[in-house]
Amino acid sequence: MPVLEELLLERAGLPADTVDHLRLLLDDWQILADLSFADLLLFVGHTLPDAKATYLCVGQMRPYTAQTIYSEDLVGQAFPVTDRPMVGRAMAEQRVIRDADPDWSTGVPVREEAIPVHFRGEVVAVVTREANVATARSPSQLELTYLQSAGELAQMLADGTFPYGGGQPEERELSPRVGDGIMRVDAEGTVTFASPNAISAYRRLGSLEQYVGQHLSMFDLGHAELTAALRSGEPVVTEVERQGAVVMRRLLPLIGHDDVIGGLLLVREITELRRHERALRLKDATIREIHHRVKNNLQTVASLLRLQGRRLQSAEARDALAESVRRISSIALVHETLSQESRQRVDFLKVARRIVEMLGDGLTDPDVPVRFEIDGEPGDLPADVATPLALVITELLQNCVEHAFPGAAEAGAARGGTVGLRFACEPETLSVTVSDDGVGLPPGATLDSVANLGLQIARTLVESELGGTLTAPPVPAGTTVQLVVPLP
Ligand SMILES: Nc1ncnc2c1ncn2[C@@H]1O[C@H](COP(=O)(O)OP(=O)(O)OP(=O)(O)O)[C@@H](O)[C@H]1O
Ligand SMILES: [Mg+2]
């Protein structure tokens, strides 16, 4: 169970919907830390087994925009209530509590603020904002705008309008942060502040010279979505593209007294990122196309051999060609699977099923019914393991079909049987067992003593290509061959 759930559900005993609300807050509070130039801590009330009342720290966020006060991790620590009087006051008075004088207990002057977190009409937790004021100079306009916006977000937290409910942006990790660029707009969508990064991002779109005082519609092609967000009070994340440049924007409406009083527009230029993604997709498509062509070529080779086989008189020569066709087809199967996957990994169960199907189709004697069973999960395998493995499995299964159940003529009575293919995935190895309940190897024989071309191919591939082992453990009936290969 993730730490937060353990802390909130088990130790603090909070109901699940409250935990969900606090999770939303923790997903989104980086912006509050950055705008405040402050460390954030999240506290919930917690009674220790010895009935002592404490505040349990359940979340911590450091600002990207300032130096942190706490180099240590406080999550999971319980503080005696006397250590954090402001947290208690914020809970009791249900309002934002501000420190008049900086606190010097950590060695640097720290200004603290405690913000009650409202959820469903109750205070469920308290966020503290703690800023080091030692470095405070006369603040720039950027800093003033940040601090003002932080104050408004903090008030929204106390009012229960932040964090925003509803869906989260899909690409959270791409979602712009304060440092990427920020604009402030009024309730109608007119810019009142633009950070240098935000201006640079919009310049890439070939927009204006001057932004402050302009309405979004003057320079943002996707302004309709942004102004809609301002009207509805719901945040939005969208992208605009122009002249090959891509800018992602996240609009966070600021709400005071149930009305939208303005908005924060976080802006990030992601042109390079998108270009990179496009290039990767193209490369991926090319690789798949090549696998597709390799598969086609292998299938052509197989058909040529098949055609040639039909014209041969000698049964032995025909069998030899048929076997080659089978081997080539099992390699083609792996390439076919690779041409359908975007990762360079193969869902090997799919390949195994196709091999079994192919061998089943090749069975000709209706008096010797053979049933196949596949068990376990080989998982996704890299292409360089999948190809040799497919070949080895084809050989071993083919042997079961060919040798384990002699037909009516040879055995005197028709009998079929079952062939099993079992996968067992350990963290670092894959073991594959091919077994049948047929006649078994000749008495006293080992894999090496009976090996013809088929088993030789299998052993060579397992040992030199896959770095694994191939063994035939003694079994009471039938034949079992096991191979164990290391997974990269
Ligand atoms: N599952 C099995 N049951 C019974 N005998 C088997 C089994 N697997 C292998 N053998 C014996 O081992 C021998 C060697 O197998 P191997 O695959 O090396 O050659 P092959 O099947 O005879 O020819 P090919 O080169 O076409 O595969 C077989 O001829 C058969 O006698
Ligand atoms: Mg064989």
| Ligand 1 atom closest to the CA of 447, numbered from 1 | 12
C-alpha 109 to ligand 2 mean position (Å): 81
| Cα–Cα dist 344/69, whole Å | 46
Ligand closest to 453 (CA) is: 1
Instruction: For 150-183, write each residue's pLDDT tens digit.
Output: 999 999 999 989 888 766 555 667 789 898 999 9
For the segment 24-50, the average pLDDT, to the nearest whole number, is: 91
pLDDT on residue 268:
93
| Ligand 1 atom closest to the CA of 402, numbered from 1 | 21
Ligand closest to 451 (CA) is: 1
Instruction: For 433-448, write each residue's pLDDT tens digit.
Output: 999 999 999 988 899 9
User: Tell me, which fold does domain 3-139+147-159 have in CATH?
Assistant: Beta-Lactamase (3.30.450)
Residue with the smallest CA separation from ligand 1 atom 1 is 400
Instruction: For 237-291, write each residue's pLDDT tens digit.
Output: 999 998 889 999 999 999 988 899 999 999 999 999 989 988 988 888 888 899 9
DSSP-assigned states of every residue in 135-146: T--SPPHHHHHH
User: Tell me, which fold does domain 178-269 have in CATH?
Assistant: Beta-Lactamase (3.30.450)
Residues 6+ apart with CB under 8 A from 44: 8, 12, 14, 22, 55, 56, 58, 124, 125, 126
| Ligand 1 atom closest to the CA of 453, numbered from 1 | 25
Q: Which part of the chain is CATH 3.30.565.10?
A: 365-382+395-407+415-488
> Hey, how many other C-beta atoms are within 10 angstroms of the C-beta on 197?
18
- pLDDT category at 7 given cuts 50, 70, 90 is confident
Question: Is the pLDDT confidence value at 411 over 60?
Answer: no
Q: Which part of the chain is CATH 3.30.450.20?
A: 178-269
Question: Is the pLDDT confidence value at 386 over 50?
Answer: yes
Answer positive or negative: Cα dihedral of 176, 177, 183, 187.
positive
Residue with the smallest CA separation from ligand 1 atom 8 is 399
Q: Which part of the chain is CATH 3.30.450.280?
A: 3-139+147-159
In the chain, what are the helix, strand and coil shares in percent, each to the nearest 5? 45, 25, 30
User: Which residues surround ligand 1 with Cβ inside 6 Å?
Assistant: 323, 395, 399-400, 402-404, 436, 438-441, 450-455, 479
| Assigned CATH for 365-382+395-407+415-488 | 3.30.565.10
pLDDT on residue 87:
94
C-alpha 383 to ligand 1 mean position (Å): 27
C-alpha 153 to ligand 1 mean position (Å): 75
pLDDT on residue 106:
76
pLDDT on residue 456:
92
Instruction: For 75-97, write each residue's pLDDT tens digit.
Output: 988 999 999 999 999 999 999 99
C-alpha 401 to ligand 1 mean position (Å): 10
Instruction: For 93-116, write each residue's pLDDT tens digit.
Output: 999 998 878 888 777 888 899 999
Ligand closest to 417 (CA) is: 1
C-alpha 452 to ligand 2 mean position (Å): 7
Instruction: For 202-244, write each residue's pLDDT tens digit.
Output: 998 886 778 999 999 999 899 999 999 999 999 999 999 988 8
Residue predicted with more confidence, 441 or 367: 441
pLDDT on residue 1:
42
Q: Nearest CA to 28 among 266, 262, 188, 259?
A: 266
Per-residue tokens: 404: 């384990």
pLDDT on residue 360:
87
pTM exceeding 0.75: no
Question: Is the pLDDT confidence value at 409 over 60?
Answer: no
Question: What is the best residue among 399, 419, 475 to mutate for testing ligand 1's pocket, by most ligand atoms within 8 Å of CB?
Answer: 399
Ligand closest to 319 (CA) is: 1
| Cα–Cα dist 458/454, whole Å | 6
| Ligand 1 atom closest to the CA of 434, numbered from 1 | 1
C-alpha 347 to ligand 1 mean position (Å): 28
For the segment 178-202, the average pLDDT, to the nearest whole number, is: 93
